[in-house]
């Protein structure tokens, strides 16, 4: 179950925020096989001056409209899957929300089931075992 924190310029319209969430979600479903019902994305706006970034780091020409995505998920995806995920997110955000691909900044935090509680204050691994998944 990935958990996404999406940071957008504060003046990003609600419809664009929704399109960004949908684009990220569809990329996760298509590229890493995430189940479609695992949608958890917290969107926050940042005001001018609240996010400082290099406009030219690593040879990428960024605008002042950078969308930052922090994706926390269980470890185990290959580098090829991650490459496909990043490309799909950039493509979807450009197509669905008009975000320039150069303005999509993504980073992953990987962890294990033992690092999650997703309801009732229960250890997520217990929930997985209840469903009969290998543990």
Question: What confidence tens digit (pLDDT) does each residue in 54-82 have?
Answer: 999 999 999 999 999 999 999 999 999 99
Where residue 124 falls among pLDDT bands split at 50, 70, 90? confident
Query: Alpha-carbon distance 41 to 117, whole Å?
Result: 16
10-50 per-position pLDDT tens digit: 999 999 999 999 999 999 999 999 999 999 999 999 999 99
Question: Which DSSP string corresponds to 53-69?
Answer: --SSGGG----S--EEE
Q: Are 93 and 67 in contact (CB under 8 A)?
A: yes
* Comparison of pLDDT for 126 and 130, the residue scoring more: 126
Which residue ranges form the domains of the chain, and what is each CATH number? 3-130 (3.30.429.10)
Count the alpha carbons within 13 Å of 125 in the hemisphere toward its beta carbon. 7
- At 37 the three-state DSSP class reads coil
Q: What is the pLDDT of residue 114?
A: 81
- CA 43 from centroid of its chain's CA atoms: 10
């Amino acid at each position: 179950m990935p958990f996404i924190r999406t940071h957008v310029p504060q003046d990003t319209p609600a419809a664009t925020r929704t399109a960004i969430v949908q684009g990220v979600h569809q990329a996760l479903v298509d590229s890493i096989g995430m189940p479609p019902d695992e949608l958890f994305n917290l969107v926050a706006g940042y005001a001018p001056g609240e996010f400082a970034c290099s406009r030219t780091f690593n040879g990428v020409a960024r605008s002042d409209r950078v969308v930052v995505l922090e994706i926390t998920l269980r470890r185990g995806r290959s580098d090829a899957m991650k490459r496909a995920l990043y490309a799909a997110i950039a493509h979807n955000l450009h197509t669905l929300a008009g975000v320039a691909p150069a303005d999509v900044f993504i980073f992953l935090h990987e962890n294990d089931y033992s690092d999650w509680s997703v309801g009732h204050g229960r250890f997520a691994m217990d929930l997985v075992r209840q469903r009969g998944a290998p543990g």
